[in-house]
C-alpha cells in the first residue's frame, strides 16, 4: 500500500518535542519533512534553522530584508514552501492550532491539505483564540481537525470546526515504557507531574495535601515539572512547613518519571479552567499513570473526566474543591488495597483505549482519508 507523504509542523522546539508529537514523527508512515519551533516553524527536524546560520545565509537574509523588503515571516514562508515542494508533501499535520494558522498560507499556495491536532490551550485560551481570529480562516479550508477529548470536540464545534471533519483521537501512551505496578505495595507517596501553570493549579494541590499531611503525617508528595508557578509553590510549601513531606524535583526524563510512578501510591492532579480560559485537553501524564497501574485522584476537568472513571479507576472532585480532594487522598493512604484495585482497573482501561499503536493507527487513517477527500491520493 502506498501512503501519503506527510509533513509535520509543530511550535515546540526540536529539543523539547513532546512524547506524543515525537511518536507521530517516528511512527506515522511516510513522514518526509519535520518543521519545528514557533507558530511559523523556523527549524527542520534536526533543529537546523530554515533560513540557515552561515555567513552567506545571514547576508542573504539581510539583502532580502533591506533591499527586497521581505520580512522574516515572508522569508520563512518562502523557505517552507520550497521544502514542501522538494519533498513532494501531500498533507501537512500541524501540531497545535497556532502552528496551523502559521503554516496555512503555505498550504494554500501549494493546494496541500492541512490537518490540525488541537491539544489544549490552543482550543481554549481566550487571548490565543482572539489572536487567531477564532480559527475562522483555518476552518474555512481545513481538511480536518483532531482533538484529544469530547469536551474539546464540543469547543471546536462551537468555534466553527466542520463536524464531518472533526474527530476525537486521544494522545497515545507507550504501554511498554510505563509498566504495570502494584500501588498497594508502595509507601503512601503521591505523585504529580506537569507544568506549574494556572490550568494545572499546583497551588491548589498543595492546599489539599496540607490537609492530608496534618491528618496523615506519613504521607508524601512528589511534584515533577517546572513553570511560572514553581517558585511561588516552593515558597508556599516552605512557609507552611511542608518541605519535610513535599519534594519539588523539577523536570525529569521519562525514564525517571516511570520510576517515580512505579514507587507511588497514587497520581494526583488538580486541573482547573484558568481565568484566561486555558484548560487541559487530555493530560498525557494522567494516561501514563493509568498505564502504570496508579489510581488517579483529580478534578472533573475536561478530558480527565472522560479518562478516569470515578470510584473505579480513581477518585474525582470538582475544580477548587480541595477538601474533597484531601479526603480522597486520605482514603488511599488508609486503604492500600483500594489503591491496588483502582490502579489495576486503570491499567486495563489504558490498555483498551490509550495504547500508542491504537492512537497512531487512528491518526494515520484520518490523515489518509483527509488526503483522499482533497484528491491528493490515487
Q: Domain 183-353 sits in which CATH superfamily?
A: Glycogen Phosphorylase B; (3.40.50.2000)
- Four-way CATH pick for 6-172+355-373: 3.90.700.10, 2.30.30.180, 3.40.50.720, 3.40.50.2000: 3.40.50.2000
What average pLDDT does the segment 261-273 reach?
98
Question: Cβ of 280: how many Cβ atoms within 10 Å?
Answer: 29
Among 229, 224, 234, 227, which residue's Cα sits nearest to residue 192?
224
**DSSP summary character for residue 178:** S
Phi, psi of 15 (to 5 degrees): -75, -10
pLDDT digits (tens, 9 = 90+) for 29-54: 999 999 998 889 988 888 888 776 76
pLDDT digits (tens, 9 = 90+) for 168-193: 999 999 998 899 999 999 999 999 99
C-alpha cell at 5: 507523504
Contacting residues for 40 by C-beta, under 8 A, at least 6 apart: 73, 76, 77, 80, 99, 102, 103
Write the CA distances from 38 to 19, 43, 175, integer angstroms: 18, 9, 30
Q: Is residue 262 scored above 60 in pLDDT?
A: yes
For residue 190, the cross-strand partners are: 221, 266
**Cα distance between residue 265 and residue 329, in whole Å:** 10
Every domain of the chain and the residues it spans: 6-172+355-373, 183-353
Whether residue 342 contacts residue 313, with contact meaning beta carbons closer than 8 Å, is answered with yes
The more confidently predicted of residues 82 and 61 is 82
- Based on DSSP, count helices (H) and strands (E) in the chain, helices before strands: 16, 13
Say what the pLDDT of residue 363 is. Answer: 97
Say what the pLDDT of residue 376 is. Answer: 67
Whether residue 117 contacts residue 97, with contact meaning beta carbons closer than 8 Å, is answered with no
Say what the pLDDT of residue 182 is. Answer: 97
pLDDT digits (tens, 9 = 90+) for 131-149: 999 999 999 999 999 999 9
Whether residue 284 contacts residue 117, with contact meaning beta carbons closer than 8 Å, is answered with no
Amino acid at each position: 500500500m502506498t501512503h501519503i507523504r506527510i509533513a509535520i509542523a509543530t511550535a515546540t522546539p526540536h529539543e523539547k518535542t513532546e512524547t506524543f508529537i515525537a511518536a507521530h514523527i517516528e511512527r506515522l508512515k511516510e513522514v518526509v519533512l519535520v518543521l519545528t519551533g514557533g507558530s511559523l516553524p523556523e527549524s527542520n527536524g534536526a533543529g537546523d534553522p530554515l533560513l540557515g546560520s552561515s555567513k552567506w545565509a545571514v547576508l542573504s537574509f539581510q539583502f532580502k530584508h533591506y533591499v527586497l523588503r521581505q520580512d522574516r515571516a515572508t522569508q520563512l514562508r518562502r523557505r517552507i514552501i520550497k521544502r514542501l515542494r522538494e519533498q513532494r508533501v501531500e498533507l501537512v499535520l500541524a501540531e497545535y492550532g497556532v502552528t496551523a494558522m502559521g503554516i496555512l498560507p503555505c498550504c494554500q499556495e501549494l493546494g496541500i491539505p492541512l490537518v490540525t491536532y488541537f491539544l489544549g490551550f490552543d482550543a481554549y485560551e481566550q487571548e490565543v483564540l482572539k489572536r487567531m481570529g477564532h480559527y475562522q480562516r483555518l476552518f474555512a479550508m481545513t481538511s480536518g481537525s483532531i482533538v484529544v477529548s469530547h469536551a474539546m470536540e464540543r469547543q471546536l464545534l462551537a468555534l466553527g470546526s466542520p463536524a464531518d471533519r472533526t474527530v476525537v483521537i486521544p494522545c497515545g501512551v507507550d504501554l511498554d515504557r510505563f509498566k504495570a505496578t502494584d500501588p498497594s505495595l508502595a509507601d503512601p507517596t503521591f505523585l504529580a507531574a506537569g507544568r506549574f501553570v494556572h490550568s494545572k493549579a499546583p497551588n491548589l494541590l498543595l492546599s489539599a495535601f496540607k490537609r492530608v499531611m496534618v491528618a496523615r503525617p506519613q504521607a508524601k508528595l512528589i511534584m515533577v515539572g517546572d513553570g511560572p508557578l514553581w517558585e511561588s509553590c516552593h515558597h508556599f510549601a516552605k512557609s507552611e512547613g511542608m518541605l519535610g513531606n513535599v519534594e519539588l524535583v523539577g523536570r525529569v526524563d521519562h525514564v525517571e518519571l516511570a520510576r517515580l510512578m512505579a514507587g507511588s501510591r497514587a497520581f494526583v492532579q488538580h486541573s482547573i479552567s484558568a481565568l484566561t480560559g486555558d484548560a487541559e485537553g487530555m493530560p498525557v501524564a494522567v494516561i501514563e499513570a493509568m498505564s502504570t497501574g496508579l489510581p488517579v485522584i483529580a478534578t472533573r476537568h475536561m478530558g480527565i473526566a472522560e479518562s478516569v472513571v470515578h470510584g473505579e479507576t480513581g477518585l474525582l472532585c470538582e475544580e477548587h474543591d480541595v477538601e474533597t480532594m484531601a479526603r480522597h487522598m486520605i482514603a488511599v493512604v488508609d486503604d492500600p488495597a483500594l489503591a491496588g484495585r483502582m490502579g489495576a482497573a486503570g491499567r486495563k482501561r489504558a490498555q483498551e483505549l490509550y495504547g500508542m499503536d491504537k492512537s497512531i493507527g487512528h491518526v494515520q487513517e484520518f490523515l489518509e482519508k483527509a488526503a483522499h477527500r482533497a484528491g491528493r491520493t490515487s
